[in-house]
Amino acid sequence: MSIRSYKRITPTIDSSVYVDDSSVLVGDIEIGEQSSIWPLVAARGDVNVIRIGQRTNVQDGSVLHVTRKSANQPEGFPLIIGDDVTVGHKCMLHGCTLGNRILVGMGAIIMDGAVVQDDVFIAAGALVPPNKVLESGFLYVGNPAIKKRPLKESEQAFLKQSALNYVKLGAEYLEEQA
């Protein structure tokens, strides 16, 4: 079973979401309309919550996790992902907050407390350190991720287009399953 309860909380997943059978989703997770979860994604909403918005795709081999509440960090670090976000292959998203229309390049790592504002492009292989804020409208590159340049108009448009491509692909996969 790829969708599992933890402490009696089962992921809440809209019926329009495609979830590949090989992915594993555990515990307090919510996923909004037309999002998609691709092969070998591991998402564990056990010691805190994971929230994924609408039309967001999490691609193959990505890992999503959270940090528990503690004396130093009363809310811990939940993982919040907005709408129209593309999470590329083999990304690690840990206890961070992502806005809307973001592309997380393949293999990128985003750590606890980091905040990615709307309309950001994160290059493949970038590492976003704890608590860093990535500003809206920019490309971030490297380890540690630095602000490289403002997004071109074509890149800005691609953020939305990439999400829409995956809405279509997810719907096709759902149809195959029917």
Ligand X SMILES: CC(C)(COP(=O)(O)OP(=O)(O)OC[C@H]1O[C@@H](n2cnc3c(N)ncnc32)[C@H](O)[C@@H]1OP(=O)(O)O)[C@@H](O)C(=O)NCCC(=O)NCCS
Residues of this chain that interact with ligand X (CB under 6 A) are 88-89, 105-106, 123-125, 141-142
Q: How far is the CB of 58 from ligand X (least distance, A)?
A: 11
The span from the CA of 81 to the CA of 124, in Å, is 18
* CA distances for 70 relative to 47, 66, 77, 78, angstroms: 11, 13, 10, 12
Q: How far is the CB of 164 from ligand X (least distance, A)?
A: 13
Of 26 and 41, which CB lies nearer to ligand X in the complex structure? 41
Of 97 and 162, which CB lies nearer to ligand X in the complex structure? 162
Q: How far is the CB of 95 from ligand X (least distance, A)?
A: 22
- Let me know if 63 is exposed, middle or buried by CB neighbors in 10 A (0-12, 13-18, 19+): middle
Of 4 and 89, which CB lies nearer to ligand X in the complex structure? 89
DSSP string, 77-89: B-EEE-SS-EE-T
